[in-house]
Amino acid sequence: MRFLVVLTDLKGWKSITNNSLKDADATVNDLVGFMGSCESGLYISIRRYINKLDIPVISQAKTMVQTDDKFLITTTAVTLALRPFHATNFQLTGLDLLDMHSAAGQYCLFLLTIPMLTQRLPAVLVSALKHKSILSPCLQTLLILRDNILKEISQIDHLKIEQHSSKVIPAVGWALSNIICLFTGSENDFLDPGGLNQSLDYAFYVHVVIILAESLLSWLDNSGWPEKENQFPQVNAETSAEPVGKVSYENETIRTLKMSYVDLLSPVCQQWHLSKLLSISKTAAYVHTDDAQNPKYLRKLELLDIAYFYSYILRIFSILNPTHGPLPVLNMLSFTPGYLVTLWEALESLLFPRKGDICADHDFSTSKILGNKKVRGDKKQKQLNKGGGNKWTNILHKISGKSRAGVDYTDSVDGQPTSQVDEDLQDVWAVEPLTCGPQKISKDISCLLHLFCASYSHLLLVLDDIEFYEKQVPFMLEQQRRIASALNNLVYNGLAHSTVQQNKPLMDSAIRCLHLMYERDCRHQFCPPVLWLSPARKSRPPIAVAARTHEIVLSNTKLDDALTVPSVGSVITITPHVYPFEERVQMFREFINMDKVSRKMAGEVTGPGSRAVEIVIRRGHIVEDGFRQLNTLGSRLKSSIHVSFVSECGVPEAGLDYGGLSKEFLTDISKAAFSPEYGLFSQTLTSDRFLIPNPTARYLENGIQMIEFLGRVVGKALYEGILLDYSFSHVFVQKLLGRYSFLDELSTLDPELYRNLMYVKHYDGDIKDLSLDFTLTEESFGKHYVIELKPGGKNVCVTNENKMQYVHAMADYKLNRQILPYSNAFYRGLTDLISPSWLKLFNASEFNQLLSGGDFDIDVDDLRNNTRYTGGYSEGNRTIKLFWEVIKGFEPKERCMLVKFVTSCSRAPLLGFKHLQPSFTIHKVACDASLLATIGGQDVERLPSASTCYNTLKLPTYKRASTLRAKLLYAISSNTGFELS
């Protein structure tokens, strides 16, 4: 080998004379040309040698002895490999580049595909491989002969020269990693540490990486990796409330090899890498190849090329990174200043050609969306919002490139989406290019959308409401609405046309981003309701058809997949918000009716013997008796319950249960068990006082089991359409719906803690001054417990560098970890009767409405049209006429009190009183005044009473409206029922 090195260098030919120089030069060129051809077998031999070299660890690489025999042999082999590129008068022409058998072709095929090439060689030799005279011809060859070279590279994996690594990473994957390592600096590269190779053409580099990455992904798809390997469990809106993740015990050698491979790609995860490519893409210079006859290779580095580059890299990390998945890439993409804004501007021009029409023409301004009330935080928070000069905020300001200081942060508008929407407005939010989902959009738009959705959904995880609504970074609210509209149309139409699997990476990232934006809108509205309804206005199927289709999809899909994989499921599962809320309630009832029919067909409802559950309940021990007799039934609780009550005196109460007593039992047991005094549930610190599991419940006897039982009680009430006058915390319901809760939702649970964390997040000074560590203290029954937010948290001080970790760790504990055992228990009980897929129809506030009814004034006409009269009353009776006149004159609060007095729930049924079971009834109580009282002008003295188990108002025959009003108000204000008469 040493002789061949000397032989191919004219300087080593001591016997050359001036007369023989020309012949010698031609001889050397012929020899070098032969060495570079496939006939010589040079490159395949060098490949075998280098492939057997050890891969030193990083600590050894810097101190590796450079004078031993192995080093000399390796240097000689590399010199021979590079000789065809450096020989005297030897230059690659355009014709040579088109020859697969040229040195550049052989070099690409056999050397650039060596696993961990740059790690096997000494650093000084790697620097030689990086030289422009070597890499440029190789990149050009890969571009021009891409099909031929990729075909040849794919065959290397089947040759005997390859080791076991090809079973995990194919040769094209190693070519990709080697080119990235050669084009970028590393910490071991003493010539060019940590930067792009300044002497090379960046466009060549980007285009070659795109070609190789696309080929690698194709190989991974064909080998079934995305299906075989567990996907990286990102924290997102679709994280299951019930931990059902599968554990993959893959071979440790394979796992180590995958980790080593993604480490080679780490330079592209650095912000300087993306920033450099973006700055180059803004120049007008074109890149010229040696093939002047092919103008298609005169390429400029453009934003779209960079998008393809990172879209593919993102997918590769998602599949091959066993520890953190795509997180390294997402962190860099999400926080590189200006990149997300640039991506959206490119998409906006393609998807919304008439920019600004939506918001300007239809006057959905910030103040109109969020109302006129301004948030009244504490004084420090206001000063904090005005300042906004901390490092985190500065980064977000750079992302947007603008200042948002003049926008008011305001509360969301009260009110619910309605099915009566303006069709013209809906047409505005129907994005024409996305009407067929991902099927009909171009590959370029698909790439831009995939990268944008993946990056923005990652940013949304840490973007708090102050930044989103007040500072409006990285996007103004008008842009946020267009983003939401585009994602809504893309996802719905993709599901409607069954094209999800055709572009799964795009659809998965779009679904994740859409859910995050919808959840934020549910908490603080920034989109008009018609936006979410728009894509399904003309195409959504009837409710019954949609419900049955949904059940068929679930029956053909594994339940775990349908609940945890975003793109598995139906329109109803993934985008239920495209149906008006009232229609989703009808779907929910349709699901229950279908379940009842299937149970009846299976003989669970009717058949030999009684299927009803007989229970005896003591009035003073309703929770304990209900738990003892019903907790073990599981899904059998769907059957009828026949209740016999025993009074507090120990005497059985008379009467048979025709459905009314079971309703009374459910309302009474929930009233007792959900009371904060009972200890299982407490109330949030906000003004609405929503219910949330009490952290001390685990110390109570059967505390967790009792919460699971209450889940079944709530499930039974939902299954039977019985309203309960209770509402749960948004955070708790999020868990029941299988969704993760993020930082800003803490404001609905503990406003003071939320303000404190926002103060820490936006603190401008040295956070060490606050003397915080990664712990919190809980008090239970007079004892204090220190909880570590991370392993060894009591020894980790909060600094400016890790304060974001502290803020989110604290929020995660309060919102997710602390509540998880209780929410899991409640979820188990609830889903014994209500399918998880049915629950996914609703967001948190809608779930509360489903449980406790509408949140508005009582519709008197609707109530009147669906009221039944007994005992001698009729609609034409004088007392009944007076009754409805009085009710119309009530205040809204008084009407709600009346409904609660009669039905035990202060809200109307969601779909109107025709769905109230049993029907609202007014029963005549015969108690006419005496003759003397009548002559004296006196009216009936008896008070109205109610039978809540039968939704019956027992109304005496009053003759005057004033008396009826006074007596009725007194009765409903006394908060009593049976005994008041």
As annotated, the active-site residues are 949
Tally of helices (H runs) and strands (E runs) in the chain: 47, 10
Q: How far apart (Å, rounded) are the C-alpha atoms in residues 31 and 6?
A: 12
CA distances from 829 to 360, 361, 683, 958 (A): 49, 49, 21, 47
**Those residues with Cβ within 8 angstroms of residue 386's Cβ, 6 or more apart along the chain or in another chain:** 405
Q: How far apart (Å, rounded) are the C-alpha atoms in residues 830 and 710?
A: 8
Of 967, 957, 953, 958, give the one whose Cα is nearest residue 863: 953
- Within 68-122, residue ranges assigned H as helices are 69-86, 94-97, 103-106, 117-120
Q: How far apart (Å, rounded) are the C-alpha atoms in residues 453 and 461?
A: 13
- Within 476-635, residue ranges assigned H as helices are 477-496, 504-523, 529-533, 543-555, 559-564, 571-574, 581-601, 622-630
CA distances from 696 to 780, 822, 826 (A): 6, 10, 15
* Phi/psi of residue 301, nearest 5 degrees: -75, 120
Helix (H, G, I), strand (E, B) or coil at 614: strand
Between β-strands 783-788 and 775-780, what pairing exists: parallel, antiparallel or unpaired?
A: antiparallel
Residue type (1 letter), 522? C
Between β-strands 681-683 and 775-780, what pairing exists: parallel, antiparallel or unpaired?
A: unpaired
- Burial zone of 461 (CB within 10 Å; 0-12 exposed, 13-18 middle, 19+ buried): middle
Which value, in Å, is the radius of gyration of the alpha carbons in the chain?
36
Q: How far apart (Å, rounded) are the C-alpha atoms in residues 451 and 321?
A: 18
Q: Quote the tokens at residue 187.
A: 């910490």
Q: Quote the tokens at residue 840.
A: 């996914």
DSSP string, 868-930: EEETT--TT-HHHHHHHHHHHHS-HHHHHHHHHHHHS-SS--TT-GGG-SSPEEEEEE--PPP
Residue 126 and residue 56 in contact, taking contact as beta carbons nearer than 8 Å:
no
Residue 487 and residue 453 in contact, taking contact as beta carbons nearer than 8 Å:
yes
Q: How far apart (Å, rounded) are the C-alpha atoms in residues 518 and 578?
A: 11
Q: What is the 3-state secondary structure (H, E, C) of 297-333?
A: HCECCCHHHHHHHHHHHHHHHHHHCCCCCCHHHHHHH
Q: How far apart are the first and last CA of the chain?
A: 113
Q: How far apart (Å, rounded) are the C-alpha atoms in residues 697 and 682?
A: 10
Q: How far apart (Å, rounded) are the C-alpha atoms in residues 268 and 329?
A: 8
Q: How far apart (Å, rounded) are the C-alpha atoms in residues 25 and 8?
A: 9
Instruction: Quote the Cα angle for 162-163-169, to 5°.
Output: 90
Q: How far apart (Å, rounded) are the C-alpha atoms in residues 723 and 175?
A: 64
The residues pairing with 641 across neighbouring beta strands, listed in sequence order, are: 613
Beta carbons within 10 angstroms of residue 623's beta carbon: 22
Instruction: Give, to the nearest 10 degrees, the angle between helix 303-320 and helix 327-335.
Output: 150
